[in-house]
Structure 1
Amino acid sequence: MPAGSHVDSTRIARLGMNHMTGRSRHRGFGHIRKLPSGRYQASYVGHDDARHTAPETFTARIDAEAWLAAEHKRSEDPENWQAPRARIEAARKAAEAAQLPTYADYAQRYLAERKVKGRALAPSTVDGYRRMLANYINPTFGDIPLDEITPAMVNQWYDRLPADKERTRREAYTLARAVMTVATGAHGPLVGQVNPFAIRGGGSGTSPKREQIATAKEIEVILDHIRPEWQAMVLLALWCGMRYGELTELRRSDVDLDKRVIKIRRAVARAGPGKKIVKGPKSASGVRDQRIPAHIVPAIRKHLRTYVTGRDGLLFPGAHGQHLHPARFQGKHTHRGWYGARKAAGRDDLRFHDLRATGATLLAQQGANIGEIQAFLGDSTPTAALRYVRAGQSRMDQLTDRLSSLAERGGW
């Protein structure tokens, strides 16, 4: 037997030894220890006779076992074996040398090149994605080369997302996975590799359905308490189904009170702190000639005479004649803004956008079909329009009372 055979066999045998005590479990290779936090720590003795722990702990024991299995396979080749952390560092340097992008760098490229139906992402959408990356994704993955992101890392990151924010969890996972889907696709730097974002159901689920609509009495109180120059905003959002961005770009030349029509052609979108752009409405269907109900024409006429200057003057200008900033309208620092008005009505849960839903619901209760509601809202699909039709409690009470009457009469 060669002189080194005994040493090598002893070393290899030690790779399977478990020297740890406490809450660990003996196994053939390495060991797994359950920490007081409930997470699992995996380690093993390497060919250098030192114990090496995984660079991260694991939520599930099966993830720790998977890491050990991969290390065991690597240990079968002693000549090329490297300690885990040294291997990761070497891979990082190799990635830099090969100019393999980090996740953060590639995500920026993804946002710049991403297209939906042949069109680049809207600036407001890009801004939202950048905030999601900055707040929830890049703190974990931003500095890691794409090929060093593992399913175990993804599982740990996902478990740390705020449990009480289902929508945030869903949208953060969906975006993070989308970036890696492109990276591992036919034209990506990791072509043919498996996307590590593979959590079943990670991007699925729905947000709780909003049922909030305003009553006539609540609207009356809101109009009494909001600043006079914004009363018409409330009326147009409610009775014409207009979005906030459409209202704040609305100009005198867009309004024809004789024909009772508002030409909706543009909207304001926020594209980061202090930045805004004027663009088309949210969808192609958002470009529309909106009918003005007769009962609000006098209020709109009065608003035009009192607060609007020039043919192209904004109907609802902000400070210094610029577009009205949402924070100013909401009035976080004054009781005459939207927040103060809804509070006076006892409706702290009511969003300005819920006025659109209230108008659509009232329209449906008057017998409008889904196509008419879709046109009223300027939505691109019937599904989108239906999200805004909500069952008012008083209306539901009337309908169920009618069912009772039908049952009592019989013959149905």
Structure 2
Amino acid sequence: MATVRKRKLPSGLIRWQAGYVDGAGNRRFKMFDRKSDGEAWLTETRHDLVRGLHTPGSVSPTVREAGALWIKRCRDKMLEAMTIKGYEEHCDLHIYPFIGAKKLSDLTVPACNAFADQLREAGRSAEMIKRVMRSLGAIFKDARRRGLSNVAPTVGLELDLPQRNDPRPVIPTKAELQAIITGATARTSRFWRALVLVAVFCGLRASELRGLRWQDVDFDARLINVTQRADASHKIGKLKSKAAYRSLRLSSLVLNALREWKLLCPKGDLGLVFPNGIGKVESYANLIDRGFAPIQIDAGITAQREALDASGNSVVITVAKYGLHALRHACASLWIEQGHNPKQIQTLMGHSSIKVTFDTYGHLFADPEADQRAAEGVELRLLGSV
């Protein structure tokens, strides 16, 4: 039986006690300042009990407690160290300061929307808010797995965030790609030509390039098999998702560049295609600073950005225009230009879902001729022949 009763506390204050019997037959209570608040909460609680979605507040963990369990599970699943570090930052810097003390049972859809509003008012970017809310959703998912929560208030949440930035990736032009390939070829080490050609024509992520092994290059079948990656800590590990395991065809140009480089490549226990000088995992910073950035700067492919000089004064410096990931985008754009459909692009790029493919490259699948015909058709229907 569910009731709301007036109670006088030892201090003399009057409170309203809502009581009900949970699904396990245990009597539960919660105190309110006003009777109407207790009745409203009791109505919602009874509704959740009928649907099997209620977790008593007394057994519900706080967000901080549930977050700690989620991080522990991430470690148990042996996720990459940098991935776990990112999740910890989401919790420590963005989740716990605002709602860490709240119980999961108190976080409804409106409460999650209010949390997102708090993040925005505190100056978090739209992209950061999205990432933090995904981490909060993962906390709830892990809590449901443990039987500590029965709800998923972040699922389908409409954050209504400002979308002012152009979501399309910056892609090198064909002239810039040609200049980069020419610059890489001109360098003394054959390493750079092989690296740039694999990146441009196979679309590997930087971590996949750094973790690529010679045993994954099938010269007879003319294939690269993407089977592992190197993380930011220089550790070899699994790929980002099941879809990232893939095989990619090699053109004669790329194949010959790899054959040439293999004769000179430093040997190491890991058998890497693009190692450092002693055969170990090369850092991303070295790939940029020692080769890819100088290649662009020599070719005049540059950008301007602000920096601080030795005296702390703001100055404008010239830097390389692109990171290695831009070559992956360029590869996707070339494949799309050759007529590959979205599903093929998803497979070749190793995207975990078709949504990722469309979110990143959807604008490249446009049909300009069809768009032009549609525009002319609208004019014709509206104005007739003029």
| Distance in 2 separating the partners of 1:375 and 1:152 | 38
Q: What residue number does 1:268 align with?
A: 230
Instruction: Identify the match of residue 110 of structure 1 among 51, 54, 70.
Output: 70
3-state DSSP of counterpart to 1:248: helix
3-state DSSP of counterpart to 1:307: coil
Deviations 1:52-81 (A, max 9, x none): xxxxxxxxxxxxxxxxxx6455999xxxxx
Instruction: Identify the match of residue 278 of structure 1 among 237, 246, 249.
Output: 237
Q: What residue number does 1:309 align with?
A: 267
Whether the 8 Å CA contact 1:173–1:203 is kept in 2: the answer is no
| Distance in 2 separating the partners of 1:392 and 1:155 | 36
Q: What residue number does 1:87 align with?
A: none
> In 2 relative to 1, CA 203–250 (structure 1 residues): closer, same or farther, beyond 3 Å?
farther
Q: What residue number does 1:369 align with?
A: 341
| 2:302 matches 1:346 | yes
| Distance in 1 separating the partners of 2:135 and 2:371 | 47
Whether the 8 Å CA contact 1:370–1:382 is kept in 2: the answer is yes
Whether the 8 Å CA contact 1:174–1:202 is kept in 2: the answer is no
| 2:209 matches 1:251 | no
Whether the 8 Å CA contact 1:154–1:196 is kept in 2: the answer is no
Q: What residue number does 1:241 align with?
A: 203
Whether the 8 Å CA contact 2:268–2:280 is kept in 1: the answer is no
Instruction: Identify the match of residue 118 of structure 2 among 132, 151, 159.
Output: 159
Whether the 8 Å CA contact 2:141–2:152 is kept in 1: the answer is yes
| Distance in 2 separating the partners of 1:385 and 1:199 | 20
Q: What residue number does 2:250 align with?
A: 292
> In 2 relative to 1, CA 127–275 (structure 1 residues): closer, same or farther, beyond 3 Å?
farther
Instruction: Identify the match of residue 175 of structure 2 among 183, 197, 217.
Output: 217
| 2:289 matches 1:326 | no
Counterpart AA for 2:337: Q
Whether the 8 Å CA contact 1:241–1:356 is kept in 2: the answer is yes
| Distance in 1 separating the partners of 2:339 and 2:112 | 53
State the shift of 1:365 in Å.
1.5
State the shift of 1:261 in Å.
1.8
Counterpart AA for 2:158: G
Whether the 8 Å CA contact 2:268–2:279 is kept in 1: the answer is no
> In 2 relative to 1, CA 258–182 (structure 1 residues): closer, same or farther, beyond 3 Å?
closer
| Distance in 1 separating the partners of 2:119 and 2:74 | 28
Whether the 8 Å CA contact 1:328–1:337 is kept in 2: the answer is yes
Counterpart AA for 1:345: I
3-state DSSP of counterpart to 2:225: strand
> In 2 relative to 1, CA 129–377 (structure 1 residues): closer, same or farther, beyond 3 Å?
same
Whether the 8 Å CA contact 1:251–1:312 is kept in 2: the answer is yes
3-state DSSP of counterpart to 2:231: strand
| Distance in 2 separating the partners of 1:265 and 1:198 | 32
TM-score (norm 2): 0.61
State the shift of 1:236 in Å.
0.9
State the shift of 1:169 in Å.
0.9
| Distance in 1 separating the partners of 2:357 and 2:156 | 31
| Distance in 2 separating the partners of 1:299 and 1:186 | 50
> In 2 relative to 1, CA 388–293 (structure 1 residues): closer, same or farther, beyond 3 Å?
farther
3-state DSSP of counterpart to 1:259: coil
Describe how 1:8-407 pairs up with structure 2 within 5 A. 71-73=33-35, 101-113=61-73, 120=77, 122-123=79-80, 125-142=83-100, 155=114, 158-161=117-120, 163=123, 165-180=125-140, 183=143, 185=144, 187-189=146-148, 191=149, 201-202=158-159, 208-223=166-181, 228=189, 229-270=191-232, 274=233, 276-279=235-238, 281-309=239-267, 313-318=271-276, 320-331=278-289, 336-342=290-296, 344-346=300-302, 350-389=322-361
| Distance in 2 separating the partners of 1:350 and 1:223 | 14
State the shift of 1:240 in Å.
0.9
Larger radius of gyration: 1
> In 2 relative to 1, CA 388–197 (structure 1 residues): closer, same or farther, beyond 3 Å?
closer
> In 2 relative to 1, CA 402–101 (structure 1 residues): closer, same or farther, beyond 3 Å?
closer
Whether the 8 Å CA contact 2:205–2:325 is kept in 1: the answer is yes
Q: CA RMSD in A?
A: 4.7
Counterpart AA for 1:288: R
Number of residues paired by the alignment?
Answer: 308
State the shift of 1:324 in Å.
1.8
| Distance in 2 separating the partners of 1:157 and 1:243 | 31
State the shift of 1:361 in Å.
1.8
| Distance in 1 separating the partners of 2:156 and 2:354 | 31
Deviations 1:114-156 (A, max 9, x none): 79xxx94733543332222122222334466656879779836
